[in-house]
Homo-oligomer: A and B are copies of this chain.
Amino acid sequence: MKFCSECASPVSLSIPAGDNRPRYVCSNCAAIHYQNPKMVLGSIPVWERDGELKVLLCQRAIEPRHGYWTLPAGFMENAETTGEAAMRETEEEAGANIKLGPLFTLLNVARVHQVHMFYLAELLDLDFAPGVESLDVRLFSEAEIPWHDLAFPTIRTTLELFFADRVKIREGGGYGFHTQDITRTMRSDLDPS
C-alpha cells in the first residue's frame, strides 16, 4: 500500500493514537487503512452409496499450485455467510450440488494471514463438472486420494481429520469439529519419500 484509497495522497506506516501497532495512515486526510486476515471457505462433498464413500476433489487450473488437487474452496465475499461462501465455491469450482452439513475444520494459517474453514457436505447427484478455475473434478475413495499432489496443507489436514472421524463413526462416534494452527508449508508437509 502506497497511496490513500480515499484521497490519493501518500500513506506511511505509523502507530495511530490509542493503537499499539503500525498502520498505513494517510499524510493528508489521516484515514487509517487497516489490513486484516481473510477467510477461505470450502466443503468436503461426500458421495456415499452401498457402503462405499468417495470425496469430490478439484484439480486447480490457476496458480498457486496449478495442477494440484484441492477441496472446492475460495475467499469468502462481503455480504455472505461462511455457509453461503462454502456452497458458492463448491458450485463455482466443481459445478456440484450439495447439501451443506456442519462446520468441520477451522484452520489458522497465520503465516499468510488466512483462516481456512471446511463444511461437511452431501453430494446430491453426479452432475458435477469443472468450473473455470478447475482442470478436472473427480471422486476419490480414501485409497485413491492423491496425498502427494494435494494443493495446500489445510486440504491434507482436513482430509486426514475426515477419514480419522470416519473410523470413529464405524465405532459408534460422530464427526467432530476441529481447530488447528497450521505452521508447516505443503513441501515440509510431504513425506521425504
A-side residues, CB < 8 A to B, are 1-8, 11, 18, 20-21, 33-39, 75-84, 92, 102-103, 106, 108, 110-111, 113, 115, 132-133, 177, 179, 181
A105 to chain B, nearest CB (A): 11
Residues of B within 8 A of A18 (CB): 132-133
A36 and chain B: residue at smallest CB distance: B38
**Cβ of A179 to closest chain B Cβ, rounded Å:** 5
Q: Tell me whether A113 and B78 are in contact (CB under 8 A).
A: yes
Tell me the complex Cα distance, A5–B111, Å: 23
How far is A110 from B158 in the complex, measured between Cα atoms in Å? 25
- Whole-angstrom distance between the Cβ of A96 and the nearest chain B Cβ: 17
Task: Verify A110–B33 contact, CB threshold 8 A.
Answer: no
